[in-house]
Chain A
Amino acid sequence: GENVEQHPSTLSVQEGDSAVIKCTYSDSASNYFPWYKQELGKGPQLIIDIRSNVGEKKDQRIAVTLNKTAKHFSLHITETQPEDSAVYFCAASRGAAGNKLTFGGGTRVLVKP
């Protein structure tokens, strides 16, 4: 089955700096890669996703890049703010089975004011 590795497990940045989280996946048939943000005591919430026919996608301060050849994808957060502090998860799935997500282990991001 699919295996998703996520690094780093914790990330501390100064407010205004950029944060980068990296994930690798094992199943070359995976074609959908969402990123979730989880705040304390809440369920994960989708912040951005990318499909395998696209190499990069941006949404305001958030961007995701995908390298299918190397089987890795990354989340980039620019101009970080204290409200960006949370746990971030990457995930992968294949085909129409987008509800069968395989998650990475998560990255706890702390933005220091």
Chain B
Amino acid sequence: QKEVEQNSGPLSVPEGAIASLNCTYSDRGSQSFFWYRQYSGKSPELIMFIYSNGDKEDGRFTAQLNKASQYVSLLIRDSQPSDSATYLCAVNIGNTGNQFYFGTGTSLTVIP
């Protein structure tokens, strides 16, 4: 079992719809959860982070965390073609340092 698992997709949604991206992780001790967006040929950029159970909203993005189920998700409301990218889930490794397990990413295409 991989430390972080994501549906690889591809996921296609029409413009204006809600895109739902999911991630599960194996380490119950994980404390920090991040979502990065990576456009083709570019490096990852941070879009959301969450540390506590529940929802965290930032503009059109909502991160949801359920530590009991070891599940974290990202919702993108009112999806735009510019949201078309690969979304990477990252989970911290251990309790010290800045090291993370990354999922292999979910490819999202928003169809105009």
Q: Do A and B bind each other?
A: no
Interface residues, chain A, CB within 8 Å of chain B?
none
